[in-house]
Structure 1
Amino acid sequence: MKPIRKQFDASAPFPLEFNYLALKDSQNELPNHLHDWHEIVYVHAGKGVFFIDGSFYAMERGDLFLLPGNTVHRALPEEEAPLTVSAIYFHGRIAQWNSFGDTFSYVQCFEQANKWKCHKLSVDTADRDFIETILVNINRELSVDRPGHRHAVVLHLLQLLLLLNRQIPVPTAEGKNTGAPEWMRTTLRTIDEHPFDDIGLSTLSAKAAVNPSHFTRVFKLLTGMTLTEYVTAKRISRAKELLLSSDAPVYAIANECGFESLPHFHRTFKKLTGKTPAGYKRRSQAPDIPLL
């Protein structure tokens, strides 16, 4: 497996990256993503399917997708209708703000997407124009080194997040699991519900009543990963959550996440993240910084 590891640094002074009007076709689309930062993807043109955390979504102009950190995802553009998308990647602390006495958080929309297991937002025409204007403004600020340009980018991002939390509060299931056979959706649900169990190709293909070779081909085609790679990515994603949210020793996390030994866990974790488990925990606990 050669995962795409965007080298995001949680301790960077400005933890944000932006890709504007990027063309994605069947020849240049990245195989798969698994990174720590939140990601917003907006579709300007084209069609395709977006595989996100075990579900498939139709992609077309005006669609917006919310991808919380550590979410396995991959876009599959249609050959005859390549996708043009903009993507904002950012660490959650860039959107931290004084609560002013209420419980609002700019990243609530990502938390809701995780809670509802639904990552696609349907955007009406008025909101679409507003979103596209924000993306133009972010690109302009990042293209010219004017005083306060990073502050301006953060303000535009907060405007976008406010819209996503207020005007478009509920992700939609419309277009979800498009183009995926029922046995594939059942397989992904099984893996998501039991990611740490010893489940392999023979067990899952038999349960799906599908020939193992056909199972392998379709699984790789739709997810960009082999079955083993996908299960491993899900386990590493959970391990990353536990490393940041608990004080459990590394060996206990490795065991809980289904790894047969601590050395195996270390090798796999470093292969997919570029860091050791202990190094990941240290680098992700960056100090807060003033943004504005």
Structure 2
Amino acid sequence: MHPIRKKLSSEGTMPFLLNYKMTKGKEEELTEHLHDWCELIYIHKGGATFFIDQMIYELEEGDFIFIPPNSIHKSTLQGDHTLTATALFFSPSNSIFSEANRQILNQTFKKVKEDRLFRYKLSAPDQRLVLTFFERIHQEKLTMNSHWEEVCSLHILLFILQINRWFDHLKLLPNPIPPNLMWIQDSLEYIDKNLSKTVRLEDLAQIANMSTVYFSKKFKQTIGMTFSEFLATKRLLKTRELLAHTDWSIQSIAEQLGYQSMPHFFRSFKKAVGVTPSTYRKQNYKLIR
């Protein structure tokens, strides 16, 4: 089973959605999924194991999460534990943003993903700042005064600019991984670094010091997908990213991502995305320097 592509509906006419201080249990958490919108999450209460792209985190109260578009992610709660969080979804294609502002947004998503700046451990004043941004957007949504959608969009832009100011500090923060999860963290990083090569289940199992059967079972339990499904999805997402943000030839992209046959590459891409790679590039090309 491949990750769910979550469909999002806008608040009003602007492409954003706010789920304010929602509490969920184990049964209510969505399995591994991705979406075209960006997602910002603040943990008010509780904790969870959180997987995004190639990183594993143990989340706790006060953590702030930045999920770029088209990033596989999943949170796992234990037993009868609950998690209370606010989640803001928004699209960088929001028409209220100027071209310069859209460039800032896209550069931010790119930096977050490349530098793995997904989880933010903030000071008490910065946590209050995050809460203030969410509260203002929530109040605008409740009152719906004139131009409330435009005001929310401007709050989102200010939010992203503030996140940019945190980047240098975040690079210095360690990400402690529980010993029992180090094997999956190492496996995810290995896959991410070797998308252009042949990545074998047997090699990952050996690195994790597990039998192939046991590794395969634990990988599915932790990530929600089989190893082969995860690898195929990662390659597909990277293909889409390179088609949209580089001027490399389609053949070069296919070769760099380990596709051995161009016909197989075209068939796989069209089946998953619904259009050919060349059509996808025409519809989504936006070179970011």
Band of TM-score, shorter chain: 0.7 to 0.9
CA, structure 1 residues 176+34, in 2 after alignment: closer, same or farther (shift >3 Å)?
Answer: farther
Q: Matched residue of 2:26: which SS? A: coil
Structure having greater relative contact order (Cα 8 Å, sep ≥ 6)? 1
- Distance of aligned partners of 1:229 and 1:156 in 2 relative to their CA distance in 1, 3 Å threshold: same
Decide whether the 8 Å contact of 2:51 with 2:75 is kept in 1: yes
Partner residue, 2:120:
121
Distance in 2, Cα, partners of 1:168 & 1:242: 24
Q: Which residue of 2 is the match for residue 188 of structure 1?
A: 188
Identity of aligned residues (%): 29
Letter in 2 for 1:196: S
Range moving further from structure 2, 175-184 or 53-62: 175-184
Please, which runs of 5 or more residues in structure 1 have no aligned partner?
287-292
What residue number does 2:211 align with?
211
Q: Which amino acid counterpart does residue 216 of structure 1 have in structure 2?
A: S
Aligned residues: 281
| Equivalence map 1:161-180=2 (5 Å) | 161-166=160-165, 169-171=168-170, 173-178=173-178, 180=180
Give the counterpart letter for 2:34 in structure 1: L
- 1:79 and 1:283 mapped to 2: Cα distance? 44
- Look up the match of 1:202: 202
Query: Given that residues 117 and 167 in structure 2 are in contact (C-alpha distance below 8 angstroms), is that contact kept between their aligned partners in structure 1?
Result: no
Change (3 A) 1:61 1:115: same
- C-alpha distance in 2 between matches for 1:119 and 1:243: 23
What is the rounded CA distance, in whole Å, between the counterparts of 1:190 and 1:242 in structure 2?
20
Single out whichever of 53-62 and 165-174 deviates more from structure 2: 165-174
SS at match of 1:131: helix
Alpha-carbon shift at residue 168 of structure 1 (Å): 6.4
Q: Report the 3-state secondary structure (helix = DSSP H, G, I; strand = E; otherwise coil) of the residue aligned with 1:132.
A: helix
Distance 1:41 1:93, change over 3 A: same
Instruction: Look up the SS of the partner of 1:181 in the other structure.
Output: helix
- 1:141 corresponds in structure 2 to 140
Shift in CA distance, 247/123, structure 1 to aligned 2, threshold 3 Å = closer
TM-score, length-normalised on structure 1?
0.81
- Structure 2 SS opposite 1:130: helix
List aligned pairs for 1:73-112, cutoff 5 A. Answer: 73-94=73-94, 96-97=97-98, 105=104, 109-112=108-111
1:140–1:169: structure 2 CA closer, same or farther, 3 Å change rule? farther
Moved more, 134-143 or 149-158: 134-143
Shift in CA distance, 274/246, structure 1 to aligned 2, threshold 3 Å: same
